[in-house]
Structure 1
Amino acid sequence: MSSDLRAMIREVLREELAARGVGRPSSAPQVREESVSIGSDAELAAFARRILALAGDSKARADIESGRHVFRLAGGGSRPAPAVEAYERAQPKQNFSPVSFERGLVNEREIRNLPEGITVIRIGKTVRLTPLAQDELRRLGIKIERAKS
């Protein structure tokens, strides 16, 4: 199927879904900001525990990794220190662990919402991918590993 035809189908679907009130497109991605105050060792330890708890939830972890959940220092500390900024730039791109889909139908939106750096997705034996999801995986260079049992 040609890319022009796919684009036309996507546009028609968006218009029809919007007319029915389903999946209203937002003008900007939803970003959650959390203000953090770190003025003592106890507050730093509490923040580290909060991050560990969030990392246990795969959706929250993906939101943090993709920049949809950001942390801001309370009191206006909006720019990182130069040493921290240089350290962050020097870090190589991380190769994140594969994302898993255990059941159901995976669509294009779910693929587009994967965090950056994902190179492999794992899917269960009964999982199905829509043709647009397959195209998006191909475009992004993401490999699929299907469960054997």
Structure 2
Amino acid sequence: MSSLDGTERDLLRQMVRQVLLEVVPQTMAAASASASASDESVVLTNDAELEAFVRRVAVLCEDPAEREALRSGSRRFRLAGHPAPSTSAPAPAAAVVRVDKGAVTERHVREAAAAGADLVLGRGAVLTPLARDRARAAGVRITKEK
């Protein structure tokens, strides 16, 4: 940098400032969005894990910033292996379409999706692969009785 004269140094500084002004806000916004969008996954399979989690939350509450993040919901937890909760209002209890026997086809899934219902399959019911794909695409939950 010592080989640059004053004008070149000023020009270089101006270019660096311009790049930083463009990059830093975008990077900060992306980091903030990913931090707020991510939920912490928690494993709770026994009493010891539950107690450890409660103790950890109690320690987090000692820090005013963490306590406020917990209160506001910007710091969230979810059970490991479960999808992140949606930000929309909770849905009312879903209706149920029950099929006790026979083939559960794409038509059954379309009807359940139109009614906003879950599909419950009895012991004698068999789900076709196309129906499974349609249910996944339509967000219809399928439960098989044992």
Please, what TM-score do these two structures have when normalized by structure 2? Answer: 0.36
Please, what TM-score do these two structures have when normalized by structure 1? Answer: 0.35
